[in-house]
Amino acid sequence: MLGAILISLAVVFVAELGDKSQIITMTYALRHRWWVVLSGVGIAAMIVHGVSVAIGHFLGVTLPEKPIAFAAATAFLLFAAWTWREGRNGGDDEVRVAEPRFIVLAIVSSFVLAELGDKTMLATVALASDRDAVGVWIGATVGMVLADGVAIVVGAMLHKRLPEGFLHAMASVLFLLFGLWMLFDTALGWRVVALAATGSVAAVVLTVSVVRAVRARRAGTQPSAPRESSTEPV
C-alpha cells in the first residue's frame, strides 16, 4: 500500500502542475477563503479519484467524454455569469456570507466535472489496475490537494494585493474561457473554433483592461484646477 500511495501521489502531483484544475483553484482562491477552497478541492479529489480507482480496479471501462464535457462547459459558463453578477451587485462581505453553504458545493461540482476524463483521472485508473486500490486512492487524493494547494497560495496572495472588483472580473473571465474551451474543443471537437473563441474573448478583455488602465492613469495624472485665492482689502 505504501508503494501505491507514494507512486500515485508523485504521478498526480506532477500531472496537476500547470493543469486546468490549478487555474480553477486559483480562480476560486481569488474570491474566497483558502480553507473553503481547500475543503472543496479535497472533497472533489476524494470523489474523482474514488471513481477512478473503482473504474481501474473493478470495471475497466471508460467514461463517456462528450456528455461530461457538455455538462462541465455548461457549469463553467453558469459560474462565469454568477461570478460576474456577484461582482456587479455585491461587495466583499456579501459574497463571503454565502461561502460555507454554497461555494463548497460549486467548487466540488466544477472540479468533479472538469476532472472526469482528464489525464489525472486516466493516470489514476491505470495505477489502480495493477496496484493497491486504497493506496492509489489515498496517494492520488493527497497529490491533487497538494498541487492545488500551491494555486490556493497564489490566489490568496493576489487577493491581498488586487482590488475586489478586478478579482471578480478576472474570475468571471477565467470561468468563461474554461466553459468556451470545453464546449467547443472537448464536447464538439472543434479545436479551431475553440482557439478562435477563447482567443477572441481574451483579446477583447485584454484590450478593454488596457484602455481602462490608461484612462484611469490619465485621470489620475491630470492637474487639478488652481484655487482662486481671495485677499481681503486692507
* Angle at which helices 2-16 and 133-161 cross, to 10°: 40
Measured distance CA(66)–CA(185) in Å, rounded: 10
Question: 32-36, 114-118, 144-148, 186-190 — which is least confidently predicted?
Answer: 114-118
For 86-139, the pLDDT digits (tens) are 666 654 443 343 454 578 888 888 788 777 766 777 778 778 877 788 888 999
Q: Which whole number is the average pLDDT over 213-229?
A: 63
Asked if residue 149 has pLDDT above 80, the reply is yes
pLDDT band at 223 (very low <50, low <70, confident <90, very high): low
* Angle at which helices 164-181 and 20-29 cross, to 10°: 150
Measured distance CA(25)–CA(31) in Å, rounded: 10
Residue 101: Cβ within 10 Å count = 8
pLDDT attached to residue 234? 46
Asked if residue 33 has pLDDT above 70, the reply is yes
pLDDT band at 14 (very low <50, low <70, confident <90, very high): confident
pLDDT attached to residue 64? 64
Residue 195: Cβ within 10 Å count = 13
pTM: 0.65
pLDDT attached to residue 59? 61
Q: Which whole number is the average pLDDT over 32-55?
A: 86
Asked if residue 229 has pLDDT above 60, the reply is no
pLDDT attached to residue 186? 75
Measured distance CA(23)–CA(175) in Å, rounded: 10
For 15-27, the pLDDT digits (tens) are 777 677 787 888 7
Asked if residue 224 has pLDDT above 60, the reply is no
Measured distance CA(140)–CA(126) in Å, rounded: 12
